[in-house]
Structure 1
Amino acid sequence: MTVEAALSAARVRYGPLEALHGVDLAFPAGAVTVLLGRNGSGRTSVLHALAGVVRLSAGRVVWRGRDVTALGVHRRVRLGLTLVPAERAVFASLTVAEHLDLGGAPAGEALALFPELTALLPRPAGTLSGGQQQLVAVARALTTRPGLLLLDEPDRGLAPAVAARLHAHLLGTAAGEDRAVVLTARSLPRGLAGAAVVHVLHRGEVTFSGEPSELRIRPTGPRRPDRPAPWR
């Protein structure tokens, strides 16, 4: 499987705190990769390092065989990268219709996937609920058809049926359009059991890498014996 992007010995620091401790991760092309972990595990820092939102204190970011460590966010976006953060991913004053227009593709594509947005088209995004805002941000990102799509907890606040539809779409378009999709979650959604690979992070380190089916037979990191594993 071809590697679309990778982190090599990546370290990320926020002041005196180190969020990633020399992480090595590879993200295949034409597939979905899921980053699992609790808050503070380093999942979001991985996405931000790939997107250029944070600079590495050590290590490299490689995309399509090119070292892009020194490239800023805007240059990576122009190369075909899109990041949807978990919060504040919309422009409050723009309407839903205006957000979808930003993607450069007909809004009908997004509305076909998420018909829930149709009634919201004239409303400013700032008046929407958190889940509705997340849906708008994800829909806009999908219309840009990025080569590397980074989604931070994309199903946060979404109804289960909408989240399942999103997961199915991501799996289908990643394979069909040869995109790389990297998303974070606290536990593995059932709809993403077909993901190519899962990486589990714990306190800035990778504690497991493998296929989703392996999660049921292999531990993912330190946990109290009286608590269920985080993927169940």
Structure 2
Amino acid sequence: MSVEVQLRAVRVRYGLLEALHGVDLACPAGRVTVLLGRNGAGRTTALHTLAGAVRPAAGRVLWAGRDVTALSAYRRARQGLALVPAERAVFASLTVAENLGPRAAAVEAYFPELVPLLPRRAGTLSGGQQQMVALGRALLAGPRLLLLDEPDRGLAPSVAARLHGQLLEAADEGLTVVLAAQSLPGTLAGAGVVHVLRRGQVVFSGEPSELLSGPVGLS
């Protein structure tokens, strides 16, 4: 399978702290890739490095074979990358419809729960509802590469399971998804690749079935 985006020997430092220690990981095109690890493992840093929100101290970021290490997050977004961070990225003073943009009504295909909330200001919604708004906005933008940091946070189990199914279906249609999570839910067993990070290093890369049957842990 072809690779859509990857990190090569990437090191990321926050002051004196090195968060990624020469990380190599590849995310196949048209598949869902899951970055697993506990808090502080480096999965969020890896995701933000792919997005251009964090600049590596060493190593390269490749997207479709092109070195985009020096390309800003804004320019990556203009070229079809969408990032949904773990913190609910909504404009609290705007309505749900305004947050979602001109195709707001189409969010029903992903989150029908939001349709009656379209006139409401996003800041009045629950945490899970705000998460759906942030995810809906990214999905409606029609990205080529979608990066999600703990997208299940605040979602009801049934909504999270539905989202996972929709991500797998979208990947079948050509969307590349990279998703950071603390554990691998059964509803993402169809993911293409799982990378397990521990203390800033990749300790496992393979298919979900290999992870579930192997000795690799997250601690």
Task: Mark yes or no: TM-score above 0.5.
Answer: yes
TM-score by length of 1: 0.92
**1:47 maps to what in 2?**
47
2:63 is the alignment partner of 1:89: no
Q: For 2:34 and 2:193, how far apart are their aligned partners in 1?
A: 7
Say if 1:202 and 1:221, in contact at 8 Å, map to a contact too.
no
Q: For 2:27 and 2:77, how far apart are their aligned partners in 1?
A: 17
Say if 1:35 and 1:201, in contact at 8 Å, map to a contact too.
yes
**2:156 maps to what in 1?**
159
- Structure 1 spans left out of the alignment, 5+ residues: 224-232
Q: For 1:84 and 1:222, how far apart are their aligned partners in 2?
A: 23
Say if 1:86 and 1:154, in contact at 8 Å, map to a contact too.
yes
TM-score by length of 2: 0.97
- Structure 2 spans left out of the alignment, 5+ residues: none
Deviation digits for residues 24-82 of structure 1 (CA, Å, limit 9, x no counterpart): 00011100000111000001001110111111000000001110000111111111100
What do you get for the CA RMSD once the two structures are aligned? Answer: 1.1
**2:16 maps to what in 1?**
16
**2:184 maps to what in 1?**
188
Aligned structure 1 segments of 4 or more residues deviating by more than 6 angstroms: none
Shift of 1:221: 4.3
- Equivalent of 1:216 in 187, 191, 212: 212
1:92-107 equivalences in 2 (<5 Å): 92-101=92-101, 106-107=103-104
Q: For 1:19 and 1:117, how far apart are their aligned partners in 2?
A: 37
Q: For 2:218 and 2:196, how far apart are their aligned partners in 1?
A: 11
Percent identity between the two aligned chains: 70
Aligned pair count? 219
Aligned amino acid, residue 184 of structure 1: A
Aligned amino acid, residue 110 of structure 2: L
Q: For 2:96 and 2:73, how far apart are their aligned partners in 1?
A: 24
Q: For 1:221 and 1:17, how far apart are their aligned partners in 2?
A: 24
Deviation digits for residues 147-201 of structure 1 (CA, Å, limit 9, x no counterpart): 110000001110011101100000001111x111000111001110000010100
Say if 2:88 and 2:134, in contact at 8 Å, map to a contact too.
no
Q: For 2:105 and 2:116, how far apart are their aligned partners in 1?
A: 13
